[in-house]
């Protein structure tokens, strides 16, 4: 099949083609909802795996390994006979001709004609116009990001253990997390547990518990999407983990030696970014109306207004409940993706009407280290150990496959009992880079 050919064989089968952009929670659940539809389902993603993002911070802090929270998208073809997975990046969307341009490594740009289009591209990290911060403050959106953060954290302790300069040691034992949302809170708490429990005994000439961890939030409180009482409880628990909160100040500058916040410069070798998100570039290709955050405004059936058969779901969509947009969390993505898939399946089978999308709020959860979490569902609030158990059960249940659940459960139990984290690995640099470093060291 040449690069000008269709990716699927829809011309031969005569079946409708449903193209899904994105293999996250929304895209996967949309595809599964179309399992029995008389259509060709084509799922396109630039990664070859579905990632369980809620536990990504645990890869970053060495609780679990990358493979524990990811599953190959190729499994979709094995389990779903009408599905095709394409490893590629959508570079063009033509709603008039109903075609996608997809760049695939080794084959160049290919064209896919579609009858229905579901955009589940999600969001990406945002540095709020300061993209120069990215080289010094890694974000947390992909497995590569998590491994880069883990390497940066573990290497900081290794350097601190070898230096005789107190100022240099202090710099490498200072960690800053930028962003007081759920990701930032979970990251800071996991770091606090790591230095207090996991790394104790690993170093003969260094006390990891002397590390300084800061959580920086520009707003007046952390976890702004949760009720204020829960936010206060989380703040108190973070302080018990020796996490210092810096509220009401924005980071003004970041470089390799530290950062500036509230006009004050702080020496810090490890800055971790969890502050914001921006829309996927794919959304701009649609030419649709967006909100201030860049999310596409959809109607009550997840359709893009004034288009035929085009849906946007998950984090990429502005989905309102009453007069408020729904948060960009996994449950919204799962439910909206499944809804769009069911709606299309119904239309393909002759059903012309469908109920509007209705979100069932199962509650918001945030974990704050060992034995403590917060749960909020409408007016119901819970915090402490019981909420932590709920968090653990829910996250195990939604991991992508059985082997993931078993591996994570075993690792959690082991870590809970011993405090150890087995994924404390700093990967070697690629051979070419290592050779350059060795030459540089010899020259010095």
pTM for this structure?
Answer: 0.90
Does residue 246 register a pLDDT over 90?
yes
Using alpha carbons, select from 122, 143, 160 the residue that is nearest to residue 30: 122
Q: What is the average pLDDT across 416-424?
A: 83
Mean predicted lDDT score pLDDT of the chain: 91
DSSP 73: T
Does residue 269 register a pLDDT over 60?
yes
Does residue 19 register a pLDDT over 50?
yes
Looking at the chain, how many residues does it have?
Answer: 444
What digits encode the pLDDT tens for the residues 47-70? 999 999 999 999 989 999 999 999
Return the percentage of the chain with pLDDT > 70, whole number: 93
CA contacts within 13 A on the Cβ side of 78 = 5
More confident residue, 417 or 434: 417
Does residue 252 register a pLDDT over 80?
yes
Give the helix ranges, DSSP H, for 22-90.
Answer: 25-33, 56-60, 75-79
Return the percentage of the chain with pLDDT > 90, whole number: 78
Does residue 222 register a pLDDT over 80?
yes
The pLDDT value recorded for residue 418 is: 87
Integer Cα distance of 61 and 56 in angstroms? 9
Whole-number Cα distances in Å, 183 to 28, 39, 51, 139, 222:
22, 38, 15, 10, 11
Does residue 4 register a pLDDT over 80?
no
The pLDDT value recorded for residue 2 is: 44
Integer Cα distance of 106 and 198 in angstroms? 44
Q: What is the average pLDDT across 145-155?
A: 93
DSSP 48: S
11 confidence band (pLDDT: 50, 70, 90): very low
Beta bridge partners of 320: 325
Whole-number Cα distances in Å, 442 to 70, 230, 316, 432, 439:
40, 55, 50, 16, 5
The pLDDT value recorded for residue 437 is: 59
What digits encode the pLDDT tens for the residues 256-267? 999 999 999 999
What digits encode the pLDDT tens for the residues 282-331? 999 999 999 988 999 999 999 999 999 999 999 999 998 877 888 888 99
Q: What is the average pLDDT across 272-281?
A: 90
Integer Cα distance of 252 and 127 in angstroms? 11
Signed CA dihedral, 303, 103, 65, 31: sign only? positive
Does residue 443 register a pLDDT over 70?
no
Least confident of 220-234, 346-360, 368-382: 346-360
The pLDDT value recorded for residue 407 is: 92
The pLDDT value recorded for residue 320 is: 87
Q: Is 9 left (phi over 0), alpha (psi -120 to 50) or beta?
A: alpha
The pLDDT value recorded for residue 1 is: 41
The pLDDT value recorded for residue 6 is: 52
Integer Cα distance of 102 and 135 in angstroms? 28
What backbone phi and psi angles, to 5 degrees, belong to 393?
-65, -45
Q: What is the average pLDDT across 224-241?
A: 96
DSSP 194: I
62 neighbors 45 (Cβ within 8 angstroms): no
Using alpha carbons, select from 421, 429, 427 the residue that is nearest to residue 68: 421
- Structural domains of the chain in order of their starting residue, each with its CATH number: 10-46+88-124+277-348 (3.50.50.60), 131-275 (3.50.50.100)
**Residues involved in catalysis:** 186
What digits encode the pLDDT tens for the residues 174-205? 999 999 999 999 999 999 999 988 898 889 88
Least confident of 49-63, 239-253, 355-369, 419-433: 419-433
Q: Is 377 left (phi over 0), alpha (psi -120 to 50) or beta?
A: beta
Give the helix ranges, DSSP H, for 173-281.
Answer: 182-193, 228-240
Number of C-beta neighbours around residue 353 at 10 A: 7
Q: Which two tokens stand for residue 376?
A: 């909020």
Using alpha carbons, select from 48, 41, 49 the residue that is nearest to residue 20: 41
Signed CA dihedral, 245, 389, 371, 70: sign only? negative
431 confidence band (pLDDT: 50, 70, 90): low
Q: What is the average pLDDT across 371-398?
A: 95
Integer Cα distance of 261 and 193 in angstroms? 25
Exposed/middle/buried for residue 144 (C-beta within 10 Å: 0-12, 13-18, 19+): exposed
Q: For the chain, how many helices (H) and strands (E)?
A: 13, 26
């Amino acid at each position: 099949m040449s690069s000008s050919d269709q990716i699927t064989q829809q011309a031969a089968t005569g079946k409708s083609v449903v193209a899904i952009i994105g293999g996250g929670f929304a895209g996967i659940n949309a595809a599964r909802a179309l399992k029995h539809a008389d259509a060709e389902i084509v799922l396109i993603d630039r990664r070859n795996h579905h990632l369980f993002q809620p536990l990504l911070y645990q890869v970053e802090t060495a609780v679990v390994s990358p493979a524990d929270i990811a599953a190959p998208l190729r499994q979709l073809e094995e389990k779903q006979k009408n599905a095709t997975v394409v490893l590629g990046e959508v570079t063009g969307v033509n709603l008039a001709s109903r075609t996608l341009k997809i760049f695939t490594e080794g084959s160049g740009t290919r064209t896919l004609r579609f009858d229905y289009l579901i955009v589940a591209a999600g969001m990406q990290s945002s540095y709020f116009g300061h993209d120069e911060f990215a080289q010094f403050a890694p974000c947390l959106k992909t497995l590569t990001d998590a491994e880069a953060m883990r390497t940066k954290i573990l290497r900081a302790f290794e350097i601190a253990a070898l230096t005789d300069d107190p100022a240099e040691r202090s710099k490498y034992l200072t960690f800053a997390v930028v962003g007081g949302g759920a990701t930032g809170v979970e990251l800071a708490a996991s770091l606090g547990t790591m230095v207090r429990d996991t790394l104790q005994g690993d170093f003969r000439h260094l006390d990891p518990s002397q590390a300084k961890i800061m959580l920086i939030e520009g707003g007046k409180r952390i976890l702004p999407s949760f009720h204020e009482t829960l936010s206060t409880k989380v703040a108190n628990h973070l302080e018990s983990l020796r996490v210092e909160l810096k509220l009401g100040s924005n980071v003004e500058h970041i470089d390799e030696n530290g950062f500036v916040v509230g006009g004050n410069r702080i020496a810090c070798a490890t800055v971790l970014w969890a502050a914001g998100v921006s829309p996927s570039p794919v959304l701009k290709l649609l030419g649709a109306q967006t909100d201030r955050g860049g999310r596409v405004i959809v109607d009550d059936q997840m359709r893009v207004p004034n288009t035929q058969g085009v849906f946007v779901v998950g984090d990429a969509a502005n989905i309102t409940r009453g007069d408020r947009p729904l948060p960009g969390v996994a449950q919204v993505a799962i439910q909206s993706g499944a809804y769009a898939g069911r709606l299309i399946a119904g239309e393909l089978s002759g059903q012309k009407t469908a109920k509007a999308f209705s979100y069932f709020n199962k509650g918001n959860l945030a974990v704050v280290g060992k034995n403590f979490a917060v749960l909020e569902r409408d007016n119901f609030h819970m915090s402490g150990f019981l909420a932590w158990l709920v968090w653990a059960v829910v996250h195990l249940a939604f991991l992508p496959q059985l082997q993931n659940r078993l591996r994570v459960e075993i690792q959690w139990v082991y870590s809970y009992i011993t405090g150890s984290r087995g994924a404390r690995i700093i990967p070697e640099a690629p051979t070419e880079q290592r050779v350059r470093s060795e030459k540089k060291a010899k020259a010095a």
